[in-house]
Amino acid sequence: MKIKEDFRNYDKNNTSEEKVINAHFFSAYKRAFVLKLPIGYNAASFRTIFLGRKIKNTNVVKHEYGHRLQFDKLGFFRYISRVATPSVLANLLYKLKKLPYDYYGSPWENEADILGGVNRSFENMLWPDGAYRGISSLLKLFFRKKQI
């Protein structure tokens, strides 16, 4: 049974991204609990790391771990306002083709990459200075008529 395999393989100190990817329902990565869900290629972090079962890229594990570190540093409420909410809004804008910048070039996603050890090529990717001035600047993009 697959869940028994996850129990046998569970190691809260695991540092192998591949072990996380190969888990069926749950795992751990550097003391962070990882829950595998039927959410395709999507991933999220809210202290616990949530990974879609179709994810095979180890950089996703590292990136979401970076968000875990942000949560630990900022605490619950500041993480919601500085990372989780803008991330969800930017992701929705990206899917609606209304985000004028690269999603991973945002300040909070870039920091998660750095903290998690993901090396992306950032040429022309980082958001320009002043592009993000709080959640309200993202909300304004929802009402833009022109799509990118």
pTM value is 0.92
Considering the domain architecture, whether residues 6 and 51 belong to the same structural domain is answered as: yes
Split into its structural domains, the chain has a count of: 2
Domain identity same for 14 and 65: yes
Q: What is the pLDDT of residue 1?
A: 86
Q: Say what percent of the chain tops pLDDT 70.
A: 96
| pLDDT value of position 148 | 60
Please check whether residues 64 and 84 belong to one and the same domain.
Answer: no
- Is residue 147 assigned to a domain? no
Beta strands in the chain (DSSP E): 26-29, 32-37, 43-46, 48-52
Sign of CA dihedral 72, 75, 80, 81: negative
| Total residues found in the chain within this entry | 148
Residues 48 and 62 in one domain: yes
Look up the domain containing 49 and give its range. 2-70
Query: Same domain for 65 and 79?
Result: no
61 and 82 both lie in a single domain: no
Per-residue pLDDT tens over the stretch 11-66: 999 999 999 999 999 999 999 999 999 999 999 999 999 999 999 999 999 999 99
**Is residue 86 within 8 Å of residue 106, measured between CB atoms?**
yes
Task: State residue 125's pLDDT score.
Answer: 85
Taking a C-beta distance cutoff of 8 angstroms, is the pair 34, 20 a contact? yes
